[in-house]
Amino acid sequence: MGNVLIVGDLHGNTAHALTLIQVAARNDCERVFAVGDFGAWEHMHSGRRYFDVVNKAAKRAGVTVYFLDGNHDKSSLLHELYDEHPDDEGFLVCRKHLRYAPRGHRWNWEGTSFAAFGGARSTDKGWRLAREARKAEQVAKRRGYGSSKRPDTAGMLWFPEEEMTDAELTDLLDADSSPVDVLLTHDKPRASQPKWNRKDKDECYPNQDRIQRVVRTLRPSVLFHGHLHVRYTDTIASGDGQWTRIEGLACDPEASQYLEYSSEHSWYALQLPYAGAQADGPAEAEPRSLPA
C-alpha cells in the first residue's frame, strides 16, 4: 500500500474527489496527491464543507489526501490557518487525512524523493475580478441604500499569490537545488508540447519558464502537472544529457473542455519505490528548446 495516486485538478468537485479516493483504494494507493486547483476555498462555507467531506471519505478508505496549490486555490489562507501545524514530513495539516504541500516542499516516500512547486497564471483573471466587483455591489445593495461602507469581496475569486515570483523561486532553489526523482507542479514546463494547449498565451509563459527552470535545476525523472485539463505525455531535456518525462493530467469532468476526455485521464497510479531513473533520450532526438 505504499503507492500514490496522482490526480489532476479537482476544482472542489466532491463527487469526483470521492471517486478518486475509491480509485486509490482499488489500486493499492495509501496516498492521493492532487497537483493543484484542488478546491482550497476555506474562505467560503462550501470550501470548508468540501474539506470535511474529503477528509471523512479518506479516513473511511484508509488513505491520506495531499495537494499543492493551483491558481484557483487560496494558498495565503492555507498558510494563515495551518503554518503552525505541520506533520512530521513538513506537510501542513488541514484535516487529519488532508494535507497541503507548500511551494518548494520536499519529502521522501518509500525511497523516492519528491518536490512540489504550485502556482500558475489565471487567464480568466479579468472575469474573476469583475465578478468580485459585482458581488460587492450586490451585497452593498442588500444592506440598503445610503450606507457608506462598501463590503470587501476582494480575494474571493482571484488570489494575488497565484503565481510564484522570480524572487520566490530563486529563494526556494537556493535553499535546496539537489535533484529529485518526482516533481509535482500545477503548471507545465515551457518546453513540453501537449497536442491541445489552452494555456499557450503570452501571459502564461513567465510561470511556465519558472517551471522549466525548476526542471533544469532539480532534473527529475518524471514531472506530473495539471492546469491544462488534458492528458498527455512528453519528454524534454533537463540538462547534462538527462531527460524528464512529462505527464499532464486531465481534470474533473465538469471542468473539462477536451473532446477526448475520459475520467481515467485524470489520474496516474505511481508505484513506489519509483524505478524510473533518469532515462536517456532517443539517440536521434533533439532536446526541446524554449520558444523564441
Rounded CA gap, 249 and 214, in Å?
A: 19
Mean pLDDT of the chain, nearest integer: 90
Distance CA 64, CA 67 (A): 10
Q: What is the pLDDT of residue 185?
A: 98
Q: Cα(162)–Cα(183) distance, rounded to whole angstroms?
A: 19
Instruction: State the pLDDT at residue 287.
Output: 43
pLDDT surpasses 90 at 286 = no
Indicate the burial class of 140 (C-beta count within 10 angstroms; 0-12, 13-18, 19 or more).
Answer: middle
The helix-helix angle for 14-26 and 45-61 (nearest 10°) equals 20
Structural domains of the chain, with CATH: 3-118+161-270 (3.60.21.10), 123-157 (no CATH)
Average pLDDT over residues 160-175: 97
Determine which of 186-190, 261-265, 266-270, 276-280 has the lowest per-residue pLDDT on average: 276-280
Longest dimension (CA), the chain: 73
Kindly report each contact of residues 80-86 with a partner whose C-beta sits within 8 Å and lies 24 or more positions away, as own/partner.
Answer: 81/42
For position 130, what pLDDT does the model report?
Answer: 87
Q: Which residues contact 262 (CB under 8 A, 6 or more apart)?
A: 231, 250
* pLDDT (average), residues 244-250: 98
- Can you tell me which residue has the cell 491558481? 71
The 10s digit of each residue's pLDDT in 7-31 is: 999 999 999 999 999 999 999 999 9
